[in-house]
């Protein structure tokens, strides 16, 4: 499959599409290109499949499910099938990995594991080939891969960098793109309370700083630097005794790493639950996805600044340091007498799951590298795009998450004449709806590369990247890149010459990239939705930009009618989206019609099970055979309601 370099070089095969990085985005890109009839090679520098989606990030960062389309949405539907639901947004790592493997098996794609990039040959903007070394044995002969189109699916953007494409690392100054939340930001999120002394001997600077505190000087808010937000591991533990492995002391354990954490315990005696020091999210089958929370948690703040430009050896040092830190943190909580008894008692029931990461001693091989390089491409996504001040017309995916950055450095500040420790860099600014991501932001400048896509380390400012950088979005952009690559190959074009209208049309009409009938979504914001009565517009916590809400405080009957445009005859399963609201009616009347006959369905609020980072859920209300030329509809009614009724979106899914 590869050719050897030097005198042993064999006849070389040129692939239509070469995908570097078997992350979630890379897998979906490879699958899409293959189903569109292209020859595909998928290369992964590690031995791990699926990136963060299979590496512990099972509590999916969604933002708004309206932004999750195509094969990305299909992935969460397949997870739903595994767990007995329509869609599933919280899941075990092994289930996600098996689901990705099913895509690859269906397409006949064999991942080439353990090969990392050394060089990319770029002639006049066209990448002809890449040179790879064996990740585990770099002394082996180098291998070359030739391709017509290349997709960099890595978090690091390594192929992009080797090809000579421009990129940024760290934070831009606010004034570079007219932003307000970029650059240095000293805020209150995941912060230390005032007054915690930073020195080994309190009050004595000569004693030195406690572990994890930088001696750097804090710059002014909004100024640029080359620092990146903290990395961590998304930790999968279990409290199932039959599946649990004890948390033991890691080699190199040093409890002094947590002296600052002890001071945090002492400073907030009212906080004595694990959920106040970790985001402890429950997963199926008695497992967890544990994330950072508070001033001192799973984020190893400041330890990753050399990662983006580091050699492979340096990156391994950084990864190993994060592994030691995280495993030490768990062991510290479990055994150190300085840990408050309530916290120590609570963690005793937890351990590593026997049935996860069985090839890597039950520990995830994927560090959460939240941000590495960011391409400077044809278009740079910025804060203005996130908040809707600028709306691109070449959208090939959507983002919907809060502009989010974890802390970047831990420094000493002086306040009221007292030295204290503070974290810097955390930003969590939301309140906006889904917004389109430009096609131009996943392609380089034409002067730099004409046959490369970068759907993960894409072109965005630091703070805009913080909103875009979610696994479902990366999958969407991976599919968009592969479809564009296929169109470029068919037309003999560069990636910059691809017709955005053709690309958007293909993504819309063939969302699963296999020619199957597309589902029909009608959102309350779409044309043709008929609203009768008194409905208010709410722009948060729904599906899509807004939702409609009726207070249900009188006996009048108010309705919202959703009508699909049927383009292919067939049987369709019908789903209504129920967005959670505190004063919800205990039941909602739904009227469904196939264009001929009507039937009524009553959905009970108590039957709607919502899990994960979402406020709503699709509910199946039946099925109909639909025909082109008829006028089917679904109506949400307030008749019989005893509380608020929400009308948000309806989905017609072709029955399988």
The three-state (H, E, C) secondary structure of 167-195, written as one string: EECCECCHHHHCCCCCCCCCCCCCCCCCC
Instruction: Out of 480, 510, 540, pick the residue that ends a domain.
Output: 510
pLDDT reported for residue 613: 82
Tens-place pLDDT, residues 342-397: 999 999 999 999 999 999 999 999 999 999 999 999 999 999 999 999 999 999 99
Tens-place pLDDT, residues 446-466: 999 999 999 999 999 999 999
Helices assigned H by DSSP within 358-401: 383-386
pLDDT reported for residue 2: 58
18 & 161 share domain:
yes
Tens-place pLDDT, residues 164-182: 999 999 999 999 999 999 9
In a domain, 72, yes or no: yes
Say yes or no to pLDDT of 47 above 90: yes
Least confident interval from 243-247, 441-445, 537-541: 537-541
Q: What is the CATH number of the domain that holds 606?
A: 2.60.120.260
Output the DSSP codes for 413-456.
Answer: EEETTEEEEEEE--EEE-----EEEEGGGGS--TTT-SSEE-SS
Rounded Cα distance, 614 and 577, in Å: 12
466 & 570 share domain:
no
In a domain, 43, yes or no: yes
Note the maximum CA span of the chain: 85
pLDDT reported for residue 4: 45
489 & 526 share domain:
no
158 & 30 share domain:
yes
Q: What does the pLDDT average to over 49-55?
A: 98
92 & 162 share domain:
yes
Tens-place pLDDT, residues 95-107: 999 999 999 999 9
Say yes or no to pLDDT of 1 above 80: no
pLDDT reported for residue 6: 40
pTM, full prediction? 0.97
> What total of structural domains would you count in the chain?
2
pLDDT reported for residue 540: 84
Helical (H) or strand (E) element with 19? strand 14-20
> How many beta carbons lie within 10 A of that of residue 203, not counting itself?
9
Say yes or no to pLDDT of 611 above 90: no
In a domain, 178, yes or no: no
Say yes or no to pLDDT of 132 above 80: yes
19 & 164 share domain:
yes
Rounded Cα distance, 374 and 389, in Å: 22
Instruction: Out of 487, 510, 533, pick the residue that ends a domain.
Output: 510
Average pLDDT, the chain: 96
% of the chain at pLDDT higher than 90: 94
533 & 491 share domain:
no
578 & 606 share domain:
yes
Q: What is the CATH number of the domain that holds 23?
A: 3.50.50.60
Rounded Cα distance, 280 and 346, in Å: 12
Q: Residue 7: pLDDT band by 50, 70, 90 thresholds?
A: very low
Tens-place pLDDT, residues 473-513: 999 999 999 999 999 999 999 999 999 999 999 999 999 99
In a domain, 350, yes or no: no
Say yes or no to pLDDT of 155 above 70: yes
Q: How far is CA 1 from CA 39, 104, 178, in A?
A: 12, 17, 48
pLDDT reported for residue 552: 72
Asked if 653 contacts 519 with a C-beta cutoff of 8 angstroms, the reply is yes
Which candidate, 111, 127, 106, places its Cα nearest to that of 34?
Answer: 106
In a domain, 411, yes or no: no
459 & 494 share domain:
yes
503 & 533 share domain:
no
In a domain, 266, yes or no: no
SS3 263: helix
Asked if 612 contacts 89 with a C-beta cutoff of 8 angstroms, the reply is yes
pLDDT reported for residue 9: 43
pLDDT reported for residue 8: 38
528 & 601 share domain:
yes
Burial 520-543 (b: 16+ CB within 10 A, else e): bbbbbbeeebeeeeebeeeeeebb
In a domain, 267, yes or no: no
Tens-place pLDDT, residues 221-240: 999 999 999 999 999 999 99
Q: Quote the DSSP letter at residue 498.
A: S
Q: What is the extent of the structural domain holding 103?
A: 14-169+394-398+434-510
Say yes or no to pLDDT of 438 above 50: yes
pLDDT reported for residue 503: 98
Instruction: Out of 477, 510, 543, pick the residue that ends a domain.
Output: 510
Q: Residue 90: pLDDT band by 50, 70, 90 thresholds?
A: very high
Say yes or no to pLDDT of 579 above 70: yes
In a domain, 40, yes or no: yes
Q: How far is CA 530 from CA 354, 369, 554, in A?
A: 53, 46, 21
163 & 22 share domain:
yes
Least confident interval from 48-52, 71-75, 468-472, 549-553: 549-553
């Amino acid at each position: 499959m590869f050719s050897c370099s030097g005198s042993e070089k064999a006849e070389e095969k040129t692939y239509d599409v070469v995908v570097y990085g078997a992350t979630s985005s890379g897998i979906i890109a490879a699958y899409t290109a293959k189903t569109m009839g292209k020859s595909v090679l998928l290369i992964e520098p590690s031995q791990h499949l699926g990136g963060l989606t299979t590496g512990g990030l099972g509590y999916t960062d969604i933002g708004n499910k309206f932004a999750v389309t195509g094969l990305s949405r299909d992935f969460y539907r397949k997870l739903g099938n595994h767990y007995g639901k329509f869609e599933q947004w919280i899941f075990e790592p092994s289930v996600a990995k098996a689901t990705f493997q099913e895509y690859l098996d269906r397409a006949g794609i064999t991942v080439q594991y353990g090969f990392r990039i050394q060089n990319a040959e770029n002639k006049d903007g066209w990448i002809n080939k890449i040179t790879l070394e064996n990740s585990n044995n770099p002394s082996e002969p180098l291998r070359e891969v030739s391709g017509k189109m290349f997709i960099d699916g890595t978090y690091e953007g390594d192929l992009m960098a080797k090809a000579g494409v421009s990129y940024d690392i760290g934070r831009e100054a606010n004034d570079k793109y007219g932003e307000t939340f970029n650059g240095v930001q000293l805020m209150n999120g995941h912060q230390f309370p005032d007054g915690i002394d930073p020195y080994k001997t309190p009050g004595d600077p000569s004693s030195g700083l406690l572990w994890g505190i930088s001696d750097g000087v804090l710059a002014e808010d909004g100024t640029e630097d080359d620092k990146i937000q903290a990395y961590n591991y998304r930790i999968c533990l279990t409290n199932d005794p039959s599946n649990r492995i004890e948390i033991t002391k890691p080699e190199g354990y040093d409890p002094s790493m947590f002296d600052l954490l002890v001071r945090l315990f002492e400073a907030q005696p009212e906080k004595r639950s694990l959920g106040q020091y970790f985001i402890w999210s429950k997963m199926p089958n008695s497992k967890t996805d544990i994330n950072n929370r508070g001033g001192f948690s799973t984020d190893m703040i400041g330890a990753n600044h050399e990662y983006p430009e580091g050699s492979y050896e340096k990156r391994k040092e950084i990864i190993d340091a994060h592994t030691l830190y995280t495993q030490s943190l768990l062991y510290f909580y479990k055994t150190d007498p300085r840990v408050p008894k309530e916290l120590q008692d609570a963690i005793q029931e937890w351990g590593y799951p026997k049935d996860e990461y069985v090839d890597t001693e039950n520990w995830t091989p994927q560090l959460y590298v939240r941000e590495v390089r960011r391409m400077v491409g044809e278009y740079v996504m910025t804060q203005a795009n996130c908040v809707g001040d600028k709306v691109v017309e070449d959208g090939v995916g959507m983002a919907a998450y809060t502009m989010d950055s974890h802390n970047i450095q831990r420094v000493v500040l002086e306040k009221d004449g007292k030295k204290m420790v503070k974290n810097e860099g955390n930003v969590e600014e939301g309140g906006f709806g889904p917004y389109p991501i430009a096609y131009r932001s996943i392609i380089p400048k034409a002067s730099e590369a004409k046959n490369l896509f970068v759907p993960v380390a894409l072109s965005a400012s630091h703070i805009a990247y913080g909103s875009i950088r979610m696994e479902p979005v990366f999958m969407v952009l991976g599919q968009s890149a592969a479809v564009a690559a296929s169109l470029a190959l068919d037309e003999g074009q560069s990636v910059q010459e691809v017709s955005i209208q053709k690309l958007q049309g293909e993504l819309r009409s063939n969302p699963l990239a296999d020619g199957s009938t597309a589902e029909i979504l009608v959102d309350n914001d779409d044309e043709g939705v008929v609203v009768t009565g008194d409905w208010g517009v709410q722009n948060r916590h729904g599906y899509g930009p807004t939702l409609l809400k009726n207070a249900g405080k009188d006996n009048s009957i108010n309705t919202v009618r959703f009508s699909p445009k049927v383009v292919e005859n067939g049987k369709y399963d019908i789903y209504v989206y129920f967005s959670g609201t505190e004063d919800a009616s205990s039941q909602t009347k739904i009227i469904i019609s196939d264009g001929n006959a009507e039937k009524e369905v009553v959905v009970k609020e108590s039957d709607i099970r919502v899990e994960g980072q979402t406020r709503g859920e699709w509910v199946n209300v039946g099925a109909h055979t639909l025909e082109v030329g008829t006028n089917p509809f679904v109506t949400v009614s307030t008749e019989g309601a005893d509380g608020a009724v929400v009308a948000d979106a309806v989905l017609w899914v072709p029955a399988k």
